[in-house]
Chains A and B, each alone.
Chain A
Amino acid sequence: MTGTLPRQQETPAQRDRRLLTLLRTGGTVLVRWREASVLIVAIAMAIYFRAANDVFLTHDNLRNIAQATAPAAIVAVGIVMLLVSGEIDLSVGVVAALAPFLVHYAIDNYGIPVIPAFLIAFAISALIGFCNGFIVTKFKVPSLVATLGSYYLLLGILLTTSHAYPAQIPEAAQGRIQSIFGAADWSSLIWCLGVVAFYHIVLTRTRWGLHTISVGGNLIGATEAGIRVNRIKIGNFMMASMLGALAGILEAFRINSIDPNIGGGTALVFTAISAAVIGGTALAGGSGTVIGALLGALILAELQNGFNLIGISANPFNIILGSAILLSMIANQYLSRLRRTGGG
């Protein structure tokens, strides 16, 4: 009994058992590591579109996909933090449109240098998040309604102050700063990966993340355990808003125009919520994954891009998107039930 039994001496029964264990482990990985299933879909889609069109995996097209993924994923990260803590923010898309305007106003109207202008834009975005969080926690207004209100309010402010016209990138911000913040080829992707990595750690490895899960999972219990639940919620609203601002600035600098329509419609925030949901974040609070949201955003970008390449019109895209959301929600429910009953 040395414990160094060579592999060749395995009996067929042992081999069967090993295979079974392997299969079961594979199943467990799918159930436990919920990002895996989303990753598989993303890869399968890439293979399909590559087969349908050679252009799909070229350098230029990958950059297109990256640039479509990044802003949605950055906003989705904030949405995930909020959803996990049991809230939602519909106004982040407008914050995304507003933030580059704030930079523009600060520099061109008030003569403020670039870096302080950036800081002001982010500070105001954080303040917007704070107000959202304050209204939700102190006045007990459901976040869906509260942020619907701030969505219209901010949209009104944005369109009024900008006269609904696009603006130039401020001269002072052109050049290196513009390249760093979105204009360089892979800039927005690098920002996106940085944000995803950072918040993945925040959500899974820090006290803040643990408390965010607690607040969304069991609000009363978290309160009884002494967690300052309002602080957690307000903080997540502030971070979501600032991530919206980052996404908006990156996008404006990339397309080289500050356009009130970037996130001013519902497109950006809806895409971000879809990405979060497809990535495996439950709307009920208490669970979610940042990496899943990135993969969700990637899937959506692949779909849109791939459809374009194959020559399918943008119209049926929404059919696919809608079905994807519904299917992933159903799968989510099913998987979490499986997880609960010890399927892993």
Chain B
Amino acid sequence: MDVLVAEHVAKRFGALTALRDVNLRLEKGEVLGLIGDNGAGKSTLIKVICGFHQPDSGRLVVNGQEVTLRSVDHARSLGIDTVYQGLALINELSVYHNMFLNRELRVGPLLNNRAMRRLARAHLEDMGVNIPNVNSEVAKLSGGQRQAVAVARAVYSDAKILLLDEPLAAMGAKEGTLILDLIRDLKARGEVSVIIIAHNYAQVLDVCDRVNLLQHGTITFDKPTADVSLDELTELVVAEYRARRTRGNGGG
């Protein structure tokens, strides 16, 4: 069953056409890799799906129902959550406060720190995320741990469709493995469907079920990762790069 379908989605910013005609679908429990060159429209597409941008035309179907996402909060209420590159973590706050950011548990007007601490610890453990101390400031965590906290937070808030914007950017091999394991764990549970924007095609092939290539605001390639090789993926993107260079030289 498809949890998310985008049909003929288009989005323009003034003279710039970011999304021309996007058709995308996401199955339940699936991990979809979204690749494409810089400026292909990946971030715009993610922002349309998470309710940040409203598309100029086309339709979105979430869990079989056509929806017009009014805001990020609206999308979140439908179970669509995004982990941005910036992660939306507050360095100055503890791990558990970040886990419950804007969904704090309270006793009367006061924060219920004990309960939040306990639940955060349990949830991170449950997801296999190893954070030595939920009391420590997020600033003290490594890049991978921060990413893991952000993902765990989204999952904890009952996200059913998780959008990960370059979760592996600027991450060492060990840290990257941590995140890939986390995504694999999610996949094994089958409750959460994930769209990952990524630049590292080897990792995309490693963890994703299917891969979509976005070029010039439209999806030009859609195959299960089982039927696709790293060379093929690389060749696709390089071909585009060459074509553009030739065009650029010719037109220059």
Binding site for B on A (CB under 8 A): 201, 205-207, 210-211, 213-214, 216-218, 220-222, 224-227, 286-287, 339-340, 342
Contacts and interface: CB of A to CB of B under 8 A. Distances in A.
B84 A224 contact: yes
Interface in B14-51: none
Interface stretch (B104-112, B198-206, B226-234, B236-244): B104-112
Nearest to B94: A210
Interface stretch (B85-93, B184-192, B214-222): B85-93
Which are the 6 A-B pairs with shortest beta-carbon distances? Answer: A221-B88, A224-B88, A217-B92, A286-B92, A214-B90, A217-B90
A207 B113 CA distance: 11
B93 A205 contact: no
A211 B102 contact: yes
A286 B90 contact: yes
Nearest to A226: B102
B120 to A, nearest CB: 14
Contacts of B92: 213-214, 216-217, 286-287
B50 to A, nearest CB: 10
B97 A342 contact: no
Interface string B63-78: 0000000001100100
Contact of B86 (A211, A220, A227): A220
B111 A207 contact: yes
A226 B76 contact: yes
Contact of B111 (A205, A227, A339): A205
Interface in B148-166: none
Given A206-B111, A340-B140, A217 B88 contact: no
A218 B88 contact: yes
B102 A225 contact: yes
Interface of B: 72-73, 76, 82, 84, 86-93, 97, 101-102, 104, 106, 109-111, 113, 137, 139-140
Given A201-B110, A205-B110, A207-B111, A225 B93 contact: no
A226 B72 contact: yes
A221 to B, nearest CB: 4
B105 to A, nearest CB: 10
A168 to B, nearest CB: 40
Contacts of B140: 340, 342
A227 B90 CA distance: 12
Nearest to A208: B109
Given A205-B111, A206-B109, A211-B102, A226 B73 contact: yes
A131 B66 CA distance: 41
A127 B34 CA distance: 49
B84 A210 contact: no
Given A224-B84, A226-B102, A206 B110 contact: yes
A227 B89 CA distance: 12
B28 to A, nearest CB: 25
B142 to A, nearest CB: 12
A220 B88 CA distance: 7
A207 B90 contact: no
A170 B86 CA distance: 56
B139 A227 contact: no
A339 B140 CA distance: 9
A340 B138 CA distance: 9
A225 B92 CA distance: 15
A286 B73 CA distance: 24
A211 B90 CA distance: 10
B109 A214 contact: no
Contacts of B89: 218, 221
B112 to A, nearest CB: 10
Contact of A225 (B101, B111, B113): B101
A339 B89 CA distance: 18
B170 to A, nearest CB: 17
Given A201-B110, A214-B101, A342-B140, A224 B90 contact: no
B106 A210 contact: no
A32 to B, nearest CB: 11
A339 B87 CA distance: 22
Most chain B CB inside 10 Å of its own CB: which residue of A210, A222, A286, A340: A210
Contacts of A201: 110
Nearest to A341: B140
Contacts of A217: 90-93
A210 B88 contact: no
A210 B104 contact: yes
B86 A210 contact: no
8 contacts: A210-B101, A214-B90, A218-B86, A221-B88, A225-B88, A286-B91, A286-B92, A339-B137
A219 B65 CA distance: 34
A231 to B, nearest CB: 12
Contacts of A227: 101-102
Given A210-B111, A224-B84, 10 more contacts: A207-B111, A210-B97, A214-B92, A214-B93, A225-B101, A226-B72, A226-B73, A286-B90, A340-B137, A340-B139
A222 B97 CA distance: 12
